[in-house]
A and B are shown apart, each in its own frame.
Chain A
Amino acid sequence: MKNRETAPERVESKGSLTAFVIAAALSLVGLADALYLTVQHVAGRSVRCTVITGCDEVLASPYAVLPGGVPLAALGALAYFAVFSLATLAAFGYGWARAPLAVLVALMLATTLGLLYLQAFILEKFCEFCLLSAAVTLSLAVVLIAKRRLRGRAAVVDAA
């Protein structure tokens, strides 16, 4: 009886821990990418694409800069750092960090989809660094959704 009650709890905690660790690791990739783009914006005016072409056009477009001259990449770096912080806190058992983490990733996902639309249909150019960031954000969303489904399944097993 004891085993039936504690086993699902262990499955849930292990799954959640793995998800948060993966989210933290992914956010570090995103942070590095966004930092690189921020540096390019601040220090130079041209960004070299090594796989595809279009970095210059995308990053020099008005969509790459927020009102006030703040590069969008800097906001991205801030967001990835926030995701890393919240995921790390959640992994260490700080339950309150889960909700803001989910909200933040949802906002980033919405922003990413908007930026992908701009690249595909407005600018008609793609920037590989932006695509990497999009891949990271999409992966973050997938990981958190998978964690949620795993948690839901664990709750069902627990109830049974």
Chain B
Amino acid sequence: MNPKKPQSSKRYLPIVIIIAVFAVAIIAFLIMMRSFSDDARKARLDQPLTSSAARPDSRPRTPQPGAQPPHERGDASAAATIEEFGDFQCPPCGSFHPELKKIEADYGSRLRVVFRHLPLPQIHKNAVAAAQAAEAAGRQGRFWQMHDMLYENQSAWEKATDASSMFTSYARSLNLDMQRFAGDLNSTDVNNRIRADMMRAESLGVTGTPTLFLNGREMTLPSSNAIQYLRGQIDAALAEKKQ
């Protein structure tokens, strides 16, 4: 091959190769997109909490109610409801937490927030234990306090080999009945609530965390100015209710 003057027979060959690689890259991109969605779904369904109830072949086809009653804060008659599917070990969820709290403070009684568990144990090893800790605290009326502590201290426990002992210390600081907390952590009731939320996520086609629904509509937050966008959507929902 002459490096300076392309032979006429090979003149278009590199162009063909480049176009072929471009096409393969696009196809690979699309295949990976689909594969990622499937993996995320399996990660939720195959995690240790589930037994026979949450297998791919038993995937619910209609929206499931999730754990009842749900964990919610704000006015029950609020014009706007945000339902968050979260994983306590998910860093973007942790980053989003203080922003959502600011939004809750700003909108007051006009906004209700519902939290749903969507731990992703294949990615986050302590996510299920964190969800169990929050639920166990919830059985003593301290769900939101534990919820906030888990998010606010995420960096302290996310990589811990014994995160459960840290969760126990959080429970102690919330003045929980520690014997009851320990008994509730891995109880059927606690696991069933988490499983119910996961089933709801699955039934709604939620594939990642955090995923937000505003008045039942899933929101796709942009990568930049997400909070500003969210506030705009809440304002729009409130204006819609007024009409």
Give chain A's interface residues, CB within 8 Å of chain B: 12-13, 16-17, 28, 31-32, 35-36, 38-46, 48, 53, 56-57, 60, 65, 67-71, 77, 81, 84-85, 88-95
Question: Contact: A45 with B92, CB < 8 Å?
Answer: yes
Ordered by A's residue number, 23 sampled pairs between the chains whose C-beta atoms are within 8 Å are A13-B2, A17-B1, A32-B28, A35-B32, A38-B29, A39-B36, A44-B40, A44-B208, A46-B90, A46-B92, A53-B159, A65-B224, A70-B223, A85-B18, A88-B14, A91-B1, A92-B6, A92-B13, A92-B14, A93-B2, A93-B6, A94-B6, A94-B14
Bound together, the chains give a CA A32 to CA B207 distance in angstroms of 23
Bound together, the chains give a CA A42 to CA B13 distance in angstroms of 33
Contact residues in B for A60 (Cβ distance below 8 Å)? 91-92, 95
Q: Is B216 an interface residue (CB 8 A)?
A: no
Spot the interface stretch: B55-63, B68-76, B117-125, B167-175.
B117-125
Bound together, the chains give a CA A45 to CA B7 distance in angstroms of 48
Q: Is B233 an interface residue (CB 8 A)?
A: no
| Chain B: interface size category | 35 or more
Bound together, the chains give a CA A139 to CA B141 distance in angstroms of 57
Q: Is B5 an interface residue (CB 8 A)?
A: yes
Question: Contact: A81 with B22, CB < 8 Å?
Answer: yes
Contact residues in A for B6 (Cβ distance below 8 Å)? 92-94
Cβ distance A14 to chain B, nearest Cβ, rounded Å? 9
- Choose one: B5, B18, B36; the contact of A43 (CB below 8 Å): B36
Question: Contact: A65 with B223, CB < 8 Å?
Answer: yes
Question: Contact: A36 with B32, CB < 8 Å?
Answer: yes
Contact residues in B for A94 (Cβ distance below 8 Å)? 6, 14
Contact residues in A for B14 (Cβ distance below 8 Å)? 88-89, 91-92, 94
Contact residues in A for B7 (Cβ distance below 8 Å)? 93
Give chain B's interface residues, CB within 8 Å of chain A: 1-7, 10, 13-14, 17-18, 21-22, 25, 28-29, 32-33, 36-37, 40, 87, 90-92, 95, 120, 122-124, 159, 207-210, 222-225
Cβ distance B184 to chain A, nearest Cβ, rounded Å? 28
Bound together, the chains give a CA A12 to CA B32 distance in angstroms of 40
- Choose one: A32, A84, A93; the contact of B3 (CB below 8 Å): A93
- Given A43-B208, A45-B92, A93-B2: A28 and B21 interface contact (C-beta under 8 Å): yes
- Choose one: A42, A46, A67, A84; the contact of B33 (CB below 8 Å): A42
Contact residues in A for B10 (Cβ distance below 8 Å)? 92-93
Bound together, the chains give a CA A31 to CA B4 distance in angstroms of 27
Contact residues in A for B36 (Cβ distance below 8 Å)? 39-40, 43-44
Bound together, the chains give a CA A32 to CA B31 distance in angstroms of 12
Question: Contact: A39 with B32, CB < 8 Å?
Answer: yes
Q: Which residue of A lies closest to B10 (CB)?
A: A92
Cβ distance A63 to chain B, nearest Cβ, rounded Å? 13
Q: Which residue of A lies closest to B224 (CB)?
A: A69
Question: Contact: B224 with A17, CB < 8 Å?
Answer: no
Contact residues in B for A44 (Cβ distance below 8 Å)? 36, 40, 207-208
Bound together, the chains give a CA A44 to CA B122 distance in angstroms of 14
- Given A46-B92, A68-B224, A89-B14: A35 and B29 interface contact (C-beta under 8 Å): yes
Contact residues in A for B5 (Cβ distance below 8 Å)? 93
Q: Which residue of A lies closest to B11 (CB)?
A: A92
Cβ distance A57 to chain B, nearest Cβ, rounded Å? 6
Bound together, the chains give a CA A35 to CA B36 distance in angstroms of 13
Bound together, the chains give a CA A91 to CA B40 distance in angstroms of 41
Bound together, the chains give a CA A67 to CA B222 distance in angstroms of 12
Contact residues in B for A53 (Cβ distance below 8 Å)? 159
